Structure 1
């Protein structure tokens, strides 16, 4: 599970085995026992959520938006 970055106690990562065929670019976010998955393109959007409240999801969406290029670059470098 490559970690792309950490911010505000959250770990932003993707799984090294993202299925066959591979899903589009997305990022998983976890803190404590909570995890969410966000699609990155064409817009940042929650794919699923397990435990984060609505306020946290909005915060995470903003962090992902700011780091979108970083996430896409890490994805392409890993899965290239």
Structure 2
């Protein structure tokens, strides 16, 4: 599970096995027992949420959007795209 970024309580990461065939570029965000998944292309969009409240999700989307290109680049390096 490569961790891409940490900011405050949020850890942003990929799972090493992202499916077969591999899903499109996305990032998982975890804080404590809460976790959400965000698609990165064409725009940042919530794919799944387990525990985050709407206000917190809005903040996380802003954080992920600001680092979107860095995350996509890390995805491509890690998965060899």
TM-score for both structures, normalised by structure 1: 0.98
Unaligned ranges ≥5, structure 1: none
Partner residue, 1:55: 55
Unaligned ranges ≥5, structure 2: none
Superposed displacement of residue 8, structure 1: 1.6
Superposed displacement of residue 61, structure 1: 0.4
Partner residue, 1:21: 21
Superposed displacement of residue 78, structure 1: 0.4
Partner residue, 1:45: 45
Paired positions, count: 80
Moved over 6 A (4+): none
Confirm or deny that 1:74 pairs with 2:74: yes
TM-score for both structures, normalised by structure 2: 0.96
Superposed displacement of residue 43, structure 1: 1.1
Superposed displacement of residue 18, structure 1: 0.3
Task: State the SS of the aligned residue for 1:55.
Answer: helix
Q: Deviations over 1:4-59 (max 9, x none)?
A: 00012100001010001000000000001000000011111110000000001000
